[in-house]
Structure 1
Amino acid sequence: MGDSKFFTNDLTNTLFDKFSGILAEMRGLHSFHAVAGYFRSSGYYAIREKLQGLGKIQILVGINIDDIFHRYNKSMMFLPGDKVYRQARERFQNDFVEDIRDAGYYRQIEEGVALLADDLRTGKVEMKIHATKDLHAKFYLFLPEKHTPHSDGWVIMGSSNFSESGLGLTQPPRYELNVAMKDFDDVAFCKAEFEKLWKEGLPVTPDDIERFEAKTHLGQAPTPYEIYMKLLIDYFGDQIEDDFSLDVPEGFMDLKYQRDAVGQGYQMLKRYNGYFLADVVGLGKTVIATMTARRFVEENSLHSSRILVVHPPKLLDNWRSTFETFGILKYADFVSCGNLEKLFGEKTDYLPLEEYDLIVVDEAHRFRSDMSNMYDNLQRVCKTDRIRIGRVGGVHKLVMLVSATPLNISPRDLYNLLLLFQDKRSGSIEGVPNLQNYFAPRIGLYTKLMSPTNKVIDIEAIKTIYEQIRRDVIDKVTVRRTRENILNYAEYRDDLKKQGVVFPKIEKPRGLVYYLPEKLKVLFNASMDVLTERLKYARYKAIESLTPAFAARYANAPQISAALAGIYRVHMVKRLESSFEAFRRSLHNLRRNTQGMVDMWEADKIVIAPDLKVKELQDKGFELDDIIDKGIEKFGGSKEDFVYRRDAFYPWFIDDLKSDIALLDDLIDEWERVTEDPKLDKFVEEIETRMLAPGENPTGKLVIFSESKDTVHYLERALKERLGRSDILSATSDSRKKLFETILANFKPRPKGCKPKDDFNILISTDVLAEGVDLHRANVIVHYDSPWNPTRLMQRNGRVNRIGSVADTIYNYLFYPSAEGDAEIRLYRNILAKLQGFHSAYGGDSQIFSREEVLCSFELFNPNIGDDVDKMLQYLDEVRRFRKAHPADFERVRNLPVKSRTGRCASRTGGPKKDTALVYVRSAYKQEFYKVEPNDAPPAKPAGMDRPGFTVQKERFTVAPLGFLEAAALFRAAPDEKPLPLSERHYQSVSAAQRRFDKDVTDMLDDAVPSSSEQDKTTKTAERFLKWIWRSGQHPATKEHCEILGHYVEAGTFTKLSRELNRLERRYRRSEIGFEEVEKAIRAFVIRYHKSEKRSGAGSDPRSCVVLAEYFE
């Protein structure tokens, strides 16, 4: 092996080592000749010093001209020679520029380019490009002045190009295989071939190098102001020129803040395949979404664009009328969020899923849970690829999620919504290609912080979680403005003023407190004790009460029972908090449902079938045998599958049921004797003294919300009697449709010239009116009870806090939970914590729930979030003004090459200190801004070996990532600021930033990062099961199906798929089904989920490049 002529770039046996040995030891060496497919200045610089003293250096570079042939669709002989050479020269120029762009940020690289130009100018080096053949050969000749059979001479031939990696200088070295020969005949043959090729080559002159150099950062000298503008141009992209001129139909105001939302959102839509339109309630999201949809139709194609709008049932008319007014109704279909199954199957009025291009999802927060069939259906709709590709390219559908409250309860809400247009483990959001690995630890920490076992909720920790998510994810895929953001921006503010639009002032929340008389307080506390400590809720623990032989049919039986009982316990406490009337009715309902289970016990026929709605059927008077017959009809099989005998249960089950009935009978008896209602008394007092006072309530309209339908009806009756008024209207799910037009006529502002109606002035409603209804003739809103989901409060407030509100001020009244009730279910603290999370993630323009606790104790509203949006708009406005005032300079700055840099003075007040570098780095996966400062700590010992011609820099710097706003503030410069010469020190600082970036990308892309999420375990089980089926299956179609599903599972495209595969695996493992049934199920999954080609995520090239840099002297 030691005498072999072959060698690789392994350890000390690299091409560079072979060159070094020949150049040092060959007798009579006179000339060096190179033929290579690629030439890189880094390779030349590495060996230049060793070539000094040679009489002749000739380098011939091959140019791949296949695409030149293809462009003209002709053979070479018919192409004009000048045109070929011109295009070959252009190709070499492009390779040269690419070389400078992709090379590391080293002084030696730049010196290598300058030295090459000098050597060409002095004649030390000759260089040609070969354009008449597709030259793939790579060989290197070392010759004496006269080559004879008696003189030395070498030829090295193989795979290595004339580049740093070809020479084996990169770490780790790229594998190359070369052979070194010195036999006269071999060397003479290659010498003759070289001479023939050299004659055919086109010379590269010093002027060429200088012209090429001008296309790179080496030929530029931008000012600090131009670097600053380049930063803004790169960051905002097409949004700068996106002040499009969409005509607004008559009857709609042409508002600039809405136009800008369209521009910003449309760019996100095309970049990420989806985004959130999350402006606060009342700013016109339906109009913005419609304008965005029209923008898509106009750009994509008027003939091949289809839109699907997914909407709550009550908002169909609003969406249809808005689309019709904007002229795009004919391009759209509409489907209710609860009827998505109508999109599937052969008999449907809708187009095939692949024919829709844009999906608009209104009230998208309804899809925050990934456990429902509704979510699975929508995910299938959104992730079925397009088949008609218009001018807006790409096979992926574009998804617009419209919601003022995309985050309801936990970070999981946002995660699930993101998965409607991103894959779990193959996403396109910069910096977060693996959403599962990013969200799993944050969801886990949030769950731990919100655990009922914690005596105190750590609001600051929750705030930190959401601030991270906002910076890393939300900012990139969300358009959200509050009223404060808009009013703080002069151009928007002036536009609103000119059009007569006034946002009402929002008063701080007004808490309402009522006190119980001593006797009633005793009953209240005793009831709370029964509800939380003594009542077993046995009616909801039937599965847990089954003996092991029968309970095995149900996975996680104890957990299911505990969850059901816990839900009902919270429900009962909340009903007691809502109103005494609602509580009384809930006691009767629980008593009746428990008695129904006792009746089944006594009949020895206990039905456990949640999907059968046994309680409802019993309430409707169905006999038990009729209910069982319905179950057999619904589920198939026999009644033994869901009907159990008494001996299937532990004996204590009937004891707990009867104990619950006795406790409930006592409570019902006690509460039936209660005639007082201090909460109602307090409410009536507030209505008469404040809520309807003309000074605060000029229209005399009042809107009241409650979670409980029973409370709504009770309040309607009680207020009519106590206030002596007949103009009180109530709305629930039962009456909404019938009363909708009446509600609008009395509570929605009318167009000018139309007389408003005042038949009803007090409206009491459940949350059926919390979304999609304009009630802003009213300016006073009352929350009679507190919803478990705090974003409901925002949605309720949004009914009266809207563009065109009649009054100048909005008043928000709330009844807080009692101390006794809150001690049990922590409603107050949960609402505050969840609202804190929402505001930390999305911001807001008003306090929602509390004054003292929100502002002081919990700092719920963070004004910095509003400032961020305002500053972003200011930077966008600044670069737009630069483009308008200096269009030629704008184009020149826009085209500045990567690595553009400048030197600046560190003396300005508040600016970076001396020897600080600001660096903007980008790759296909992410972009980042860094501030690099000298580190006073002792330098770390460098790892690895020094490379010839390069010095591995020891880490002597603190490299801190910056947000865009921080970076823009530091890069900001005046137009007349002069650049300073760059010192050699700046190379080390910029390289440190690029090393940090590359390390961050490597860590980010490491799929081995452990995940604590249950979904990750589910995924692994699904993958193992599919691999086992693939190995076990004999039919080729089964193997193909496993491969198709395996891709979706690996990428995390469809959330429910992995869970379904896990269920299938469990059933097979328990011998409930055979392998044939498994194959059928796999085929069914493919039919359900596979409607498109393989999806792709972020770009595969992880290489980074320095976009911009500044160094402060």
Structure 2
Amino acid sequence: MSIVLDTNKRGSVGEYLKEHTSKKAKIDISSSFFTIYAYDELKKTLDESDKIRFLFNEPTFIKRLETNQKEVKEFQLQMIQREKNISEFPLEIGLKNNLDQNQVASKCYQFIQSKAEVKSVISSGIIASSNISVKNTQGKEYLISGNGINFSLDGLGYSDRKRWDFNTVLTEKNIIEDYDSFYNSIWNNPSLVVDVKDKLLEHISNLYKENSPELVYFVTLYHLFNEKLVNMDDMAKIKERTGIHNTKVWKMLYNFQQDAAVGAIKKLELYNGCIIADSVGLGKTFEALAVMKYYELRNARVLVLAPKKLRGNWIGFKQNTKLNPLVDDRFNYDVLNHTDLSRENGYSGDIDLNKVNWGNYDLVVIDESHNFRNNPALKGKKTRYQKLMEEIIKSGVKTKVLMLSATPVNNRLADLKNQIMFITEDRDDAFKDNLFIDSIENTLRVAQYRFSEWSKLPKEDQTTETLLPMLDYSFFNLLNTVTIARSRKHIQKYYDTKDIGDFPNRLKPLSIKTEIDQKHKFPELNEVNGLISKLNLPIYSPLLYVMPAKMDEYEKLYEQVVKGGQGSFKQSDRERNLVNLMRVNILKRLESSVHSFKMTIERIKDKMDVMLSKIEVGLDYQVDIDDEIDDEEVDDLELGTKVKVKLKDLDIIRLKADLEEDKVALEYLLQVSSKVKVDDDAKLLKLKEQITDKIKHPLNSGNKKVIVFTAFADTAVYLYDNLSNWLLNEFGIYSGIVTGSQATKTNVPKARNDFEEILAHFSPKSNKTAVKQEIDILIATDCISEGQNLQDCDYLVNYDIHWNPVRIIQRFGRIDRIGSENKDIQLVNFWPNLELDEYINLESRVRNRMMMVDLSATGEDDLLNPESKNLKYRKDQLKQLQDEVVDLEDLSGGISITDLTLDDFMMSLDKYLKAHPGLLESYPTGIYGVTNINDKLRDDAHPGVIFCLKQKNFNEADKGQNSLYPYHLVYVKNDGSILVKNTNPKKILDIYKAICTGKDEIIKELVNEFNTETKNGNKMEKYTLLLEKAIFDIKGYIEEKGIKSLFRLGKSTILDNKVTGLNDFELVTFLVVK
């Protein structure tokens, strides 16, 4: 006789088993699933049985055979899911979220150990359906068979969903005997089945056993990031084959630098590009060199594009000299300046630009890539940006692009967009399929708008915590895809640096103000500035003197249409800006040294004399700016030096009048500056005083070293000429000078006057070289403000304050480096003898006619006045630097990429997976760990729980809304308040890593405390309430995102996200923090 079970009646299968199974019954089950909650529902019936044989009718817990790699991967993923179903069957997640998994798993383990035999088929298709056979000691034997029976709450009929299965109960003796014979023939055949009881017990024990904090951390990371790591698997194996681990550069890298190099290689392979934006002093240059060596070992052609002032850094690493620490690696890359892309011919070093095969580079490395802007070009001429994009990246062989950039996002995302476009070959939809980002430009435009809104908040509210919820997660996804960015604080807090050493202690900066000269013969700065701001400087702006009738002809010749025809950029505008830059430059040279100021005035006056003489003899004129201005400022103008004007087209009367007027002012300035002699130079005398004090009272025992930075080579030469002999005679110490152009020399006997030799003599330990006599005082321009490790030194002087505060921090990064042997380091800044507000206003008046409009498509709401915003940023930042040494990412008014990227955690997970193969893939969820707070995290972490949850109702289209989607992290304090919201996963993961890494054993006293508190997991009400608080935090976030989507084009998400409570989430892990 057969009975059809009503599958829409709750518990149809389970209740039948409870009612019709006698004590001491023998039960045989075949099912593709086994869940602990199905056992819990049938606990009384199963515990009273005599014996159970359980057969997995799909391969589960069997040894994974090595066959075709793709088949194995697919098969493993299916089998791992069946193994995970023991605690994760979808319709049982609601139960697990009551945090009772621990006790249920423990009781299930005891039952299986004492009463069950468990086997699994080796391959699919041996048993088609799931069945339960019961042999009672009292009452009838029966067989339940059907297409929906599985050993899960759903299969037993305890879910709320409608079922349309056809399940029958068979009691005919002959049918049951036939089934028993069939079941036994499989059960007893070793070629068809394998015993997996120990594997099942091991898995269940993982559900209730105490887990180390580190394991819980990596299980969490696995669920958050494994999908992103799958693509990286295969190319990771290439790394071992290249032999990169055996190179000198690899062995020189610290652990966090190796992580960056590996991460960059993966991004280059997957996405064709990467931006390394690690903070100052963390060694971006060496990370890049490791990446370059990896590609050179694969026979790739590598090109480095560097600012002219940093060219020497890169050349040094490929030279065959004893002073090159990487000489054994035999680097073979080419080095060109950024400016070389504007040149058609001539030589750059030993490279003939006319013969370069631009399209044949496999990897291009761009140093200071944030300065590589897409500026409007002169008519008929390509900008550097265009040449790089069209002739190197898009043409010839497939070119990968590695960029080294400054860290802060600050108030411009246009620079970031330009860098990303190098990676995507200018395709705006390049990440549409894999990141669900339809438009890179729109993503950055929205982020820029939100950033601008954030920057309008009161200063005390401008924090990372207030910014993150304002940004769309498509922006985070974009950053995580293309950037690697870690801050100094990140490395200090979240990496184990005991083998490296720490950063030195920064003493409070010394701020020094002096007069120009001791005898006060030089006029007041305000008077001098008044003269400078009135200079016409026609030698830099001949088009402003073209006769009106001829102006259209010249404008058409040089005008550049921009923004798709919406605007134009005229050569006359460029020249106005150049004149203003020159005025600023003259003022900056006065701030640097009266000597540099005098030399600049002389050069400008000489050029005016040349122009006047050309007018007299009737020669045409061409603009020549030489090296009067910093590269990066001229770069913004993309001037070119080929702009010529015909003398007959100029208003000669007005031109001569302006030249003569300028000459009068310049002759006066030359006269007053010539009166200031070396012995009267108040600033130079104060520098001598500071150096004397440092030598006599070293910060660190025996360390006499000092670096003096200046923006100008003229000043550097002046200082060297007036300090080197005095230092040798007075103290018996040697000096050196390095500049990007004029002078590189030292008074060390028999030492060569070249860049590498001088730096090696100044900082031999950090350069790993042995020298007989060291240089103690180094005078330098910004040619060494980046990419150099000079941490033998502990005292750095900024003889002039650079207009851009970032440069000040970059300079200090030469000595403020991890692993320094110096306990303390000192920054000394020479400021103009004015109040800061007065100084800023002085410069802003000089710049008052600057009209460089931000021509790139940003979300700025104030495109016509970016300069005023920059002035505010500069003012706030310079004020900050008067009182403290800050990291680049901590400059006021900006936010750092390091606050936004999660790539570091993916690299940690990747490393852990390789060290523990197979562990995390099938590890159950719902697990917990107990940890404590490290001393250095006392301010960031508090007792409570970090929950990792997975949203059940989600769709792929929403992936762009959340960088962790469909996962959420929330940190809840014990009082129920939210310590870190789910909108700031970076901060939670930073804390998670710091309080778990290295704790690979359970902390027994904390676990005992937790078990006592919860009565071994039987009283979890407190933690269930905290879980509810976490879910309320997530619900609020989802609803807010849904409301925001109402105001966007396309379908709103507010109706799709049916998130109501606990049962809408799967508990992945929870970490109890004591």
Give the TM-score of the pair, scaled to structure 1. Answer: 0.53
**Deviation per residue, 1:84-110 (Å, 9 max, x gap):** xxxx99997972345425653335767
Task: Give the Cα separation in 2 of the matches to 1:379 and 1:510.
Answer: 49
Q: CA deviation at 1:215?
A: 1.6
- The reply on whether 1:695 has 2:692 as its aligned counterpart is yes
Question: What's the counterpart of residue 510 of structure 2?
Answer: 508
1:833 aligns with 2:869: no
Aligned residue type for 2:313: L
Kept in 2, the 8 Å contact 1:278–1:405? The answer is yes
Report which structure shows greater RCO (CA 8 Å, sep ≥6).
2
Aligned to 1:948: none
Please name the residue that 2:682 is paired with. Answer: 686
Q: What secondary structure is seen at the aligned counterpart in 1 of 2:971?
A: strand
Equivalent AA in structure 1 for residue 125 of structure 2: D
One-letter identity of the residue aligned with 2:462: A
Match of 2:626 in 1: none
Amino acid at match of 1:334: D
* 1:202 corresponds to 2:187: yes
Which residue among 879, 882, 885 is the counterpart of 1:851? Answer: 882
- The aligned counterpart of 2:731 is none
Judging changes above 3 Å, is the alpha-carbon distance between structure 1 residues 353 and 289 closer, same or farther for their aligned structure 2 residues? closer
| Counterpart position of 1:1097 | none
Aligned twin of 2:58: 63
In structure 2, what is the Cα distance between the partners aligned to 1:109 and 1:370?
A: 61
Residue 963 of structure 1 and its aligned partner are, at CA, apart by: 2.6
Deviation at 1:920, TM superposition (A): 4.6
**What is the identity, as a one-letter code, of the residue corresponding to 2:254?**
R
Structure 2: which amino acid aligns with 1:919?
Answer: F
Q: Which residue of 1 aligns with 2:988?
A: 963
Q: Which amino acid counterpart does residue 692 of structure 2 have in structure 1?
A: G
Greater mean deviation of Cα atoms: 54-63 or 718-727: 718-727
Equivalent position SS for 2:692: coil
Q: Which residue of 2 aligns with 1:930?
A: 970
Deviation at 1:984, TM superposition (A): 3.1
- Partner Cα distance (1:449, 1:594) in 2: 53
Aligned to 1:560: 569
Flag the 1:215–1:23 CA change in 2: closer, same or farther, 3 A: closer
Whether 1:95 and 2:100 are equivalent positions in the alignment is no
Aligned counterparts of 2:395 and 2:1069: Cα–Cα separation in 1: 36
State how far apart, in whole Å, the 2-side matches of 1:995 and 1:512 are. Answer: 60
Q: Report SS of the residue matched to 2:82.
A: helix
Residue 282 of structure 1 contacts residue 799 of structure 1 at CA under 8 Å; is this kept in 2? yes
The aligned counterpart of 2:830 is: 813
Residue 231 to residue 181, structure 1, CA distance change in 2 (3 Å):
closer
Cα distance in 2 for residues equivalent to 1:913 and 1:325: 42
SS of 1:812's equivalent in the other structure is: strand
Name the aligned partner's letter for residue 686 of structure 1: A
Task: Give the CA RMSD over aligned residues.
Answer: 8.1
Give the aligned partner of residue 581 of structure 2. 571
Inter-partner Cα distance in structure 1 for 2:879 and 2:402: 27
Letter in 1 for 2:972: V
Distance of 2:785 and 2:244 partners within structure 1: 34
CA positional deviation for 1:571:
1.5
Alpha-carbon distance between aligned partners in 2 of 1:594 and 1:1103, rounded to the nearest angstrom:
80
Does residue 749 of structure 1 match 2:761? yes
Q: Give the 3 Å change call, closer, same or farther, for CA 66–93 of structure 1 in structure 2.
A: closer
Q: Distance in 1 between matches of 2:367 and 2:941?
A: 49
Show the counterpart of 1:443: 448
Structure 2 unmatched ranges of 5 or more: 69-74, 137-141, 230-238, 345-350, 377-382, 591-596, 622-634, 696-703, 729-734, 747-751, 765-769, 849-866, 952-958, 1051-1063
In structure 1, C-alpha distance between the alignment counterparts of 2:438 and 2:1069, rounded to whole Å: 21
> Which residue does the alignment assign to 1:1065?
none
Superposed CA deviations along residues 1021-1064 of structure 1, whole A, max 9, x for unmatched, are xxxxxxxxxxxxxxxxxxxxxxxxxxxxxxxxxxxxxxxxxxxx
Report the CA distance shift for 1:132/1:286 in structure 2 as closer, same or farther (over 3 A). Answer: closer
Q: Go from structure 1 to structure 2 and tell me whether the alpha carbon gap of 1:493 and 1:101 turns closer, same or farther (over 3 Å shift).
A: same
Q: What secondary structure sits across from 2:209 in the alignment?
A: coil
Residues of 2 paired with 1:913 and 1:311: CA distance? 43
- Tell me if structure 2 keeps the 8 A contact 1:278–1:479: yes
1:1109: which partner in 2? Answer: 1071
User: Judging changes above 3 Å, is the alpha-carbon distance between structure 1 residues 1002 and 333 closer, same or farther for their aligned structure 2 residues?
Assistant: farther
Instruction: Render the CA deviation track for 1:320-378: whole Å, top value 9, x for unaligned.
Output: 148985476457533436478999x9997799666x6xx76544545476997548847
Which of 302, 317, 320 is 1:319 aligned to? 317
AA of the residue aligned to 1:308: V
CA gap 1:930/1:677 in 2 versus in 1, 3 angstroms = farther
Matched residues in 2 for 1:830 and 1:134: separation?
Answer: 70
Within the candidate set 120, 125, 130, 1:134 is matched to 125
Q: Percent identity?
A: 11
Match of 1:215 among 203, 206, 210: 203
Taking the aligned partners of 2:868 and 2:500, their CA distance within structure 1 comes to 36
Partners of 1:806 and 1:915 lie apart in 2 by 34
Give the conservation status (yes or no) of the 8 Å contact 2:708–2:778: yes
Q: TM-score, normalised by structure 2?
A: 0.55
Query: 1:988 aligns to what?
Result: 1024
**CA–CA distance in structure 1, aligned partners of residues 943 and 47 of structure 2:** 36
Q: Deviations over 1:957-976 (max 9, x none)?
A: 99796534544677788554
Matches within 5 A, 1:71-90: none
Q: 1:265 is matched with which residue?
A: 260
Q: How does 1:114-263 map to 2 (within 5 A)?
A: 134=125, 137=128, 157=147, 180=166, 198-202=183-187, 212-216=200-204, 219-222=207-210, 226-227=212-213, 231=217, 258-263=253-258
Does 2:802 match 1:786? yes
Structure 1 partner of 2:946: 918
Contact 1:701 1:778 in 2 (8 A): yes
2:236 maps to none
* Residue 914 to residue 807, structure 1, CA distance change in 2 (3 Å): closer
Q: Is 1:427–1:433's contact at 8 Å kept on the other side of the alignment?
A: yes
Instruction: Please give the alpha-carbon distance, in whole angstroms, between the structure 1 residues aligned to 2:525 and 2:1073.
Output: 73
Q: Distance in 2 between matches of 1:821 and 1:895?
A: 64
Mapped to 2, the partners of 1:59 and 1:586 lie a distance apart of 94
The Cα offsets for residues 147-200 of structure 1, whole Å up to 9 and x where unpaired, read as xxxxx9998658x977667899989x7xx995759999xx99999997786455
Report how far residue 229 of structure 1 moved: 6.9
In structure 1, stretches of 5+ residues that fail to align are 1-5, 7-13, 74-87, 146-151, 388-395, 497-501, 604-609, 625-645, 647-653, 838-846, 938-954, 1018-1101
Is the alpha carbon distance of 1:429 and 1:929 closer, same or farther for their aligned partners in structure 2, counting shifts above 3 Å? farther
Q: Distance in 1 between matches of 2:939 and 2:313?
A: 52
One-letter code of the match for 1:214? E
Aligned residue pairs total 853
Aligned: 1:899 with 2:930: no
For residues 1078-1089 of structure 1, what are the structure 2 equivalents within 5 Å?
Answer: none
- CA–CA distance in structure 1, aligned partners of residues 553 and 155 of structure 2: 69
Cα deviation 1:729-770 (Å, max 9, x = unaligned): 998866579999456666762665545799xx99685x5564
Q: Report the Cα distance in structure 1 between the residues aligned to 2:1035 and 2:390, rounded to whole angstroms.
A: 34
Q: Distance in 2 between matches of 1:192 and 1:590?
A: 113
Spell out the pairing of 1:523-922 with structure 2 (5 A cutoff): 524-525=529-530, 528=533, 555-556=564-565, 558=567, 560-561=569-570, 564=574, 567-568=577-578, 570-578=580-588, 579=590, 582=600, 616-617=641-642, 666-667=661-662, 669-675=664-670, 677=672, 681=676, 685-693=681-689, 695-696=692-693, 703=708, 705-706=710-711, 735=742, 741-742=753-754, 749=761, 752-754=770-772, 767=782, 770-771=785-786, 781-784=797-800, 786-787=802-803, 789-797=804-812, 811-815=828-832, 817=839, 819-823=841-845, 825=847, 830=870, 833=873, 850-852=881-883, 860=891, 898-902=925-929, 916-920=944-948
Q: Structure 1 residues 377, 1111: closer, same or farther in 2, change over 3 A?
A: same
User: CA 1:385–1:911 in 2, change beyond 3 Å: closer, same or farther?
Assistant: farther
- Tell me which residue corresponds to 2:462: 461
Per the alignment, do residues 110 and 809 of structure 1 end up closer, same or farther by CA in structure 2, a change over 3 Å counting? closer
Q: What aligned pairs does 1:365-384 form with structure 2 within 5 A after superposition?
A: 365-367=370-372, 374=385, 377=388
Q: Secondary structure at the match of 2:946?
A: strand
Counterpart AA for 2:686: R
Matched residue type, 2:485 = T
Secondary structure in structure 2 of the residue aligned to 1:919 = strand
